[in-house]
Amino acid sequence: MGSTWQLVGHRNTKQGRRTVAAVRRAGVLVVLSLSSAVACATAVPEATPAPVAIPTETVAPAAPAAATACVKPNAPTLTGNIDEPAGGAKIAASAEAVDVRGWALDARASQGIGVDAVTLYLDGGPATGNPLGAATLGDVRSDIVSAFCTTRFQASGWHFRWDPRGLPSGTHTLVAVVHSAGNQRSATIERVVTVSPSPSDPAGGIDLPEEGDIVGDEPVTLSGWAFDASARTSSGVDAVYLFIRPGTAAGSPATLNTATTIGTATYGDARPDVARRLADERAARSGWHYDWDPHGLPPGNYTLYALVNSGATGHTALLSRVIVRGSASAVPPLPRCLPPPTGLVHLWRGDGDVRDSAGGRDDVAHGHLRFGVGETGRGLLFNGVDDYVDVADASALQRLTSAFTIEAWINPQRSSHPESPSWIFAYRDPLVREAFGLLVNDGGEVGAVLQTSAAYSVLWAPAGSVSSGRLQHVAVTANTSTADVRIYVNGRVMPLRVETGPSKVSGRIVSAQHAFIGRRQSVDDEGVSLAGHYKGIVDELAVYGRALSSAEISAAVEASVAGTCGTRGGKALDTQYAAIFSGGSGVVAVASDQRLTIGFAADAVQDPGQDAFAGGGQSACTFRGDFDLQVRYELIDWPRRNGVRTALVIGGHLLERTSVGGNFDDVYTDGGVLVPTNDRAGWLRLARDGNALTGYYVDEGSWRSIFTSTVTQAEVNYGLQAWSHDSLFGHQATVVTFTGLWLNSGELTCP
């Protein structure tokens, strides 16, 4: 799992604890932002669709080093960072003191750092957190001077001495509220730390629901484990009490005074996994569960608490888990990968190599073969001139005597030989025999070639069946026993045009010694036209030893971006190095390893002097060079015409899923092209190839490109954000989640 984020926190105001329900006429922007990897945030005017500088946004992983480009001193930014302790730092509950250090400044101030107070809280802001005290301002920060190119920020550092003794074990959020001296604005910066349990406290965990899970109207089984190693016999635990409270604070036992009691869990479930992990057989029955009906719980962000009580020692432990109560049933389910149908002979995924994962061998790439945006991760990218793959062993194909299927996702480009077709797959001996193949031409026809002992046939689907600019699923099936040949495009059986031979086939499929991907034969044999080099993407190319049914072809199309089950290229990105932030009142952002949930209360508003209210996460890691990144969004509580935007951004380039009212309601757009959509969930993808940046969205199950722009920055980073403006927000609560952040290709540099 990739480590790509550093948790800096979320803001949890009084308004943010209130009900989060559906929003109408809201103006919330959700952004996967890839911006120039400098140490400072830059403001963007409200009138533009580009990301707005948020008071709590801190793109630097810690204290910023000297930047290649400086933020101007008059930039509209109230910002800062908590440098120590580091994100995810482990703090002993018995520690007498922990140094908390950071920096803060208001770039709008006319002189000095513009900040007159930094106040520390634990597990929430002023309305919900536990106050710790005021930090000491004035520490010298020459690194900030270098980053912002002005000496007036030299005294922007601050420090605080924190006593964590008595805190319950688990994750806690340090919240620093920065107050501007000039215009009474405030901003929140946060740092998530882990408090190690005292040896005398019981241990435990909440397994279900997972962090950030969405709870609907259906009953939910809460489950976990609890164990007290200090007990002389058995597990030592005599009760697990369950509570729930609006908001997202980890809290302390005192927090339960304002929480709602759910009930007492049933204790004693078998947990051999816990016993193995702790190497203690007394924990073999340390599990607990509770059947909970959340039906009457209003939509919103909540913290679930489990108070573990040890009858052996009298000590307690407080476990917590943030969940979201939403109308998840309105969001379409995530597509599942498709187990390969029986009869699979070859499968080339194209995820950075030419390995045949079904045949278990590496085939041979020729020319200048590269890899590009495929339906499932990366795909084979042919240049149409000299690229092709030579299938090293065709013996498995020789056993296909009466039936076969070829299927693939393709994005064809115009060839250099418009007078002749381009070959996706060719099983043949050049100048001798054809066997069978799958091909396309520049008119968008999809073709099938089959030679048997009885006849030689070339059949075509109609012109315009496929086009450039998007991934499309194509397949050909043949069965000489039933005399049937079919060509499919995106799961539909296409009418056939006969170019050569009969449309009904019979006899035995001829045997050949060679097979190629991306061409028919060598240019040296009969020239460029008959070489048939293919230009474009081929992904998930598979060959089966039987004719798949229409239902099986449709299932492959419905699997969409999930593809065929098995090892996938790339890696998941988690939230270890994210700056999780929120600005304005009534905004919460909650992150777990694989999910970011952002909620806006119905009365969310901007802080005075700010351009927006927002929540999200900014990565501290950077890409250098080419990359391919995608994320899934889900609009959990999100009515139509609500002013919502979701986007991938690099510099001034945006790919949006937006709903801002008027002509921009419910579209994907780059600011120019408008593509109407009713998607409540989908994917956004950004891929860089040299200086070309291309944005993609999923349309009817496959990736479609919407723009290509020029990017010159050597390094970029990324983030997830949601925001709105007072002038746009409809004053109805909203919830959006991001899941499945996946790096298909590229390398990250993390602190």
Residue 465 maps to which CATH number?
2.60.120.200
Backbone angles phi, psi at 369, to 5 degrees: -55, 135
Do 464 and 437 belong together in one domain? Answer: yes
Do the beta carbons of residue 640 and residue 659 sit within 8 Å?
A: yes
Q: Which tokens sit at 637?
A: 């509580």
Determine, yes or no, domain membership for 129.
no
When divided into structural domains, the chain yields a total of 2
Q: Residues in the chain, how many?
A: 751
Both 435 and 302 in a single domain? Answer: no
- pTM, full prediction: 0.68
Same domain for 259 and 381, yes or no, is: no
Q: Are residues 283 and 367 in the same domain?
A: no
- Are 321 and 354 found together in one domain? no
Q: Which residue has the tokens 């793109």?
A: 59
Q: Is 748 a domain residue?
A: no
Compute CA distances 477 → 241, 482, 485, whole Å.
Answer: 60, 11, 6
Q: Whole-angstrom distance between the N-terminal and C-terminal Cα of the chain?
A: 16
Give CA–CA dist 511/401, Å, rounded.
Answer: 8
CATH of the domain at 261: 2.60.40.10
Question: What's the pLDDT score for residue 31?
Answer: 41
Whether 438 is covered by a domain: the verdict is: yes
What is residue 598's predicted lDDT score, i.e. its pLDDT?
84
Rounded to 5 degrees, what angle do the CA atoms 58, 62, 64 make? 80
**pLDDT given at position 3:** 35
Between CA 571 and CA 680 the distance in angstroms is 25
Residues 161, 621, 627: CA angle, nearest 5 degrees: 170
Going from the C-alpha of 484 to that of each of 397, 448, 491, the distances in angstroms are 19, 12, 17
Per-residue model confidence (pLDDT) at position 79: 84
Name the domain boundary from 547, 562, 577: 562
Token digits for 197? 């349990």
- Residue 524's contacts (CB-CB under 8 Å, 6 or more residues apart) are none
Nearest to 377 by CA among 640, 5, 743: 743
Cβ neighbours of residue 315 under 8 Å, at least 6 residues apart?
A: 198, 200, 201, 202, 228, 230
Rounded distance between C-alpha atoms, residue 307 and residue 317, angstroms:
6
Residue 451 falls inside a structural domain: yes
pLDDT at 629: 93
Residue 500 in any domain: the answer is yes
Compute how many other C-beta atoms are within 10 angstroms of the C-beta atom of residue 299: 22
Q: Cα–Cα distance between 587 and 272 in angstroms, integer?
A: 41
- Final residue of a domain: which of 330, 365, 394? 330
DSSP state of 461: P
Retrieve residue 469's tokens: 């600019």
Residues in the chain with pLDDT < 70?
Answer: 1-77, 127-128, 166, 183, 248-254, 326-330, 575-578, 593, 609, 639-644, 651-652, 660-665
Of residues 88, 70, 127, the one with CA closest to residue 7: 88
The answer to whether the beta carbons of residues 612 and 729 sit under 8 Å apart is: no
Going by their DSSP bridges, the two strands 130-134 and 136-139 should be labelled as unpaired
Asked if residue 358 and residue 325 are part of one domain, the reply reads no
Give domain status of residue 607, yes or no.
Answer: no
Distance CA 502, CA 497 (A): 11
Three-state DSSP state, 282: helix
Task: Encode pLDDT of 203-241 as tens digits.
Answer: 899 999 987 777 877 899 999 999 999 888 789 999 999
Residue of 416, 556, 412 whose CA lies nearest to 477: 556
What the block records as the tokens of 401 is 């005597």
Task: Answer yes or no: are the C-beta atoms of 285 and 268 closer than 8 Å.
Answer: yes
Domain identity same for 414 and 524 = yes
Q: Tell me the DSSP string of 335-396.
A: P-PBPPPTTEEEEE--SSS-EETTTTEE-EEETT-EEEE-SSSEEEEEESSS-EEE-S--HH
Say if CB 546 and CB 715 are below 8 A apart.
no
- Tell me which of 268, 303, 330 is where a domain ends: 330
Judge if 431 and 360 occupy the same domain. yes
CA gap 191, 176 in Å, rounded: 9
pLDDT (0 to 100) of residue 69: 46
Are 475 and 553 within 8 A, CB to CB? yes
Domain that includes residue 208, residue range: 203-330
* Helix, strand, coil percentages, rounded to 5, for the chain: 10, 45, 45
> How many of the other CB atoms lie within 10 Å of CB of 459?
24
CB atoms within 10 A of CB 678: 6
384 and 408 in a single domain? The answer is yes
Measure Cα distances from 341 to 358, 399, 548 in Å.
12, 18, 8
The CA distance from 85 to 190, in Å, is: 11
Structure-block tokens of residue 638: 């999100």
Distance of CA 71 to the CA centre of its chain: 29
Helix ranges (H only) for 380-454 are 395-398
Are 499 and 558 within one domain? yes
Q: Identify the pLDDT of residue 635.
A: 84
pLDDT of residue 327: 60
Shared-domain flag, residues 414 and 532: yes
Is residue 298 domain-shared with residue 367, that is, in the same domain?
Answer: no
Instruction: Confirm whether 478 is domain-assigned.
Output: yes
Distance, CA of 613 to CA of 608 (rounded, Å): 10
User: In this structure, are strands 667-669 and 653-659 parallel, antiparallel, or unpaired?
Assistant: antiparallel
For residue 683, tell me if it sits in a domain: no
Beta bridge partners of 564: 338
